[in-house]
Amino acid sequence: MQLLKKVFILFITIATSFVYGASSDDGVEYIKLDNGYRVWTKRVGHGPIQILTLHGGPGCTHEYFECFENFFPKDKYQIIFYDQLGSYYSDQPDDPSLWSVERFRDEVEQVRKALDLENFYLYGQSWGGMLAIEYSLKYQHHLKGVIISNMTAGIQAYLTYIRQLRAQLPQSIQDQLTAFEEKEDFSNPAYEKLILEELYSRHLCRLKPWPEPLLRTFAHNNVKIYQTMQGRHEFEVTGTFKDWERWDDLSRIAVPTLLISGRYDTMNPQDIEKMGTLIPNSRVTICENGSHLSLYDDQDTYFQALLAFFADVESCKQTKNKK
C-alpha cells in the first residue's frame, strides 16, 4: 500500500512546469468540508454514468488514475477524480487526529453530497478499496454499484500475504531488509531501493519504466498520513487502521460489486476470490499479468472487466425500469 516519495528520484526528474499527461483545470471544484478544510475534485466527461474515484495510499493522489480517460468515452461516462484531505491537490493540515478510517469514510459522504451524486458508482483502489468497503457498509443506499480494486477485507490477511512475498525473496535480500529494520533506518535510500527493486517491481507495478502519472503520484505522496495510518514500512501495520477487519461484514454489501486484483498483487488473489463468495451480488476478476497496479500492467484485462461490469449493471437497471 505504501507509495514512497523518494522513489520518484530513482526514475526521473520532472520540472515543476512540466506535467505530462495531466488534465486541464476544466471541471475542477473545491469542496469545503465540515471541519473547514477543502478537498479537490475534478469531473471528466459528461455522460450519465457517474464514477467517484478513491485513490490509494493513504496520502497519495488521483494522478495515477489519469489513464481512466483513455478507456471511458466522455459522452457515456463522468469520472470524478478526488484528492482526499491531506493529499497533494487538497488542503494538507498537520493534524494526526484527522487520519482515521471513520473520518475519511464520512469525508467521502460529504463529497458525495456536495457533488450531488445519487445512484452512482464508487471505485476504490488499494487504501481506496478499504474506504469503498467502509462507505458501502454505511451509505450503500446512495450507490448503484461499487468497485473494490486491489484490496483485501482485513489487515491481518494483508500482513500474512505480504510477509509470504517477503519470504520468497533471496535470503541475502531478506537479511539486508532486516538489518535496516532493526536499526529503524526506514528512510535510508538503500532500504528504499531494496523495497523498490525487490518488492515493488514484482508486486506493485511490473512495467519498466513506470508510467509518468504513477511517478508523479509517488512524488506527491504524503508520507506523514501513511505513517500515521499504516506504520513505518510495508511489512508492519501499527497505525490507526491496524485493527481493521471487515470479513464478517461483507455479506451486508448488497449493491452490485466488482472485485478486481492482480495475480502478482501484494493482496492474496485467494482472499479476493473469498470476498467474492461473501458479497452476495459480486463478481471477481483476477488480472493474470497484473500486480497491485493492474490498471497499468494488465490494462486490457482490467478495463475490459470494468466496462463489462458497468454495462451489465446498466443493462439490469434498464430491464427493471421497463417492467
Question: Hey, is 130 helix, strand or coil?
Answer: helix
Residue 260: name the closest of 271, 244, 248 by CA. 271
Query: H/E element holding 40?
Result: strand 38-44
Question: Hey, is 196 helix, strand or coil?
Answer: helix
Enumerate residues 6+ apart whose C-beta is below 8 A from 204. 266, 291, 292, 293
Distance between CA atoms of residues 208 and 210, nearest Å: 5
Distance between CA atoms of residues 34 and 42, nearest Å: 20
Contact 307, 285 (CB under 8 A): no
Residue 216: name the closest of 7, 1, 47, 2 by CA. 7
Set of cell numbers at residue 275? 470476498
Distance between CA atoms of residues 313 and 311, nearest Å: 6
Set of cell numbers at residue 84? 482526499
Enumerate residues 6+ apart whose C-beta is below 8 A from 190. 180
| Bridge partners for 122 per DSSP | 52, 146
By annotation, the residues acting in catalysis are 126, 265, 292
Distance between CA atoms of residues 159 and 266, nearest Å: 9
Look up residue 282 and give its amino acid.
Answer: S
